[in-house]
Amino acid sequence: MNITSGEYNDIINEYRTRQLENEHLVAKRREEVYARIPRYKEMDEQIVSLSAERTRAMIRKDTDKANLLTEQLEDLQRDLKLLLTGAGYSINYLDPQYSCPYCKDTGFIEGVRCHCFKQAILDRVYEQSNIKEQLTDENFDMVRHDFQVGEAARDFEKALSKARNFADLFGKQYANICFTGPVGTGKTFLSNCIVNEALKKGYSCIYFSAPTLFNTISDYKFHNKSDKTENPLNTLYSCDLLVIDDLGTELSNSFSTSELLTLLNERFLAKKPIVLSTNLSLEDLCARYSDRVFSRLFSNFEICTLSGQDIRLYIKQMQNRK
């Protein structure tokens, strides 16, 4: 994944800013607790003093003294937690609130880039991969079952079950999934639910609408709209999860078909999962793309077909009636 030195420094600065904000938050909360629970401050200061004394004992190799101080510290820390919760605070109120618990907002784990740093690079290389605002409202916790009835409801439940299973096994079992069906039946929503779970597990994700994907590839190949020293499109082949939304809405020509075939082949060989969504039926996909593309779509993807009304239009109509 290639970015300019300026972009890299921007990401580093974002991590530093995040760390400072976290430190300020913890300091502010600690002042609040000290003011409300004076005894907490006394015990906190006592812990600092005993910790220093234990360190000196360990340096002197005075094991008995170090063990005694360790027991005293454990008792004090237990009492501190009781004071905190007794005053109505959560037990982790004074703990740092990390955006990424894996690297603790440093961006690195033992000198290796954390998944969150890799995702930040992806978000720089491809602005389209940054869909975190959407994911706030589009995840499995937000699923509703009252928009469809009858066969449409059964189709949605089947697709939801397959999406959950795909997300649960992500990183453990290689698979690809394709959501097909009319506009507004939940295809993009289910795709975003999967992305949400993959990001939570620490995997890198790139999200594209089909037209933007092929325009991006075209721009790089024919117009050289990149200042990167290497081909940034390689990340399309190597990221942990690639999501292509609205397949079939891109300009249909030999270039897009060829690039789609290459993309599918590269990711299949690398066993890198793909999530597709399309408004086209299987028959339409067969008619639109070459036999080689359709064969790969049909044989390498779990096909989930949705039906029914446009949920977004239905919600809008309900809101207008209020």
SS (H, E, C) the chain: CCCCHHHHHHHHHHHHHHHHHHHHHHHHHHHHHHHHCHHHHHHHHHHHHHHHHHHHHHHCCCHHHHHHHHHHHHHHHHHHHHHHHHCCCCCCCCCCCCCCCCCCCCCEECCEECHHHHHHHHHHHCHHHCCHHHHHHCCHHHCCCCCCCHHHHHHHHHHHHHHHHHHHHCCCCCCCEEEECCCCCCHHHHHHHHHHHHHHCCCCEEEEEHHHHHHHHHHHHHHCCCCCCCCCCHHHHHCCEEEEEEECCCCCCHHHHHHHHHHHHHHHHHCCCEEEEECCCHHHHHHHCCHHHHHHHHHHCEEEECCCCCHHHHHHHHHHHC
Q: pLDDT tens digits for the chain (322 residues)?
A: 456 677 788 899 999 999 999 999 999 999 999 999 999 999 999 999 999 999 999 999 999 999 999 999 999 999 999 999 999 999 999 999 898 888 999 999 998 889 888 888 877 766 544 465 666 678 898 888 777 888 989 999 999 999 999 999 999 999 999 999 998 889 999 999 999 899 888 788 888 899 988 988 888 787 665 554 456 577 888 889 999 999 999 988 899 999 999 999 999 999 999 999 999 988 898 889 888 888 888 889 999 999 987 666 655 555 555 5
Residue 238 has what pLDDT? 85
Domains, the chain, in order of start with CATH, read: 5-86 (no CATH), 126-321 (3.40.50.300)
Residue 136's pLDDT is 66
The CA distance from 306 to 19, in Å, is: 44
Give me the pLDDT at residue 131, please. Answer: 60
CB 155 within 8 A of CB 147: no
- CB of 315 within 8 A of CB of 191? no
Predicted confidence at residue 172, as pLDDT, reads 93
> From edge to edge, which strands make up the β-sheet containing 177-180?
205-209, 241-247, 274-278, 177-180, 302-305
Question: What's the predicted TM-score (pTM) here?
Answer: 0.68
Output the six-digit token pair for 228: 């990167």
Which residue(s) pair with 84 in the sheet? none
| Cβ contact 117:14 at 8 Å | no
With CA atoms as reference, report the closest residue to 184 among 314, 47, 38: 314
How far apart CA 285 and CA 247 sit, in angstroms, is: 9
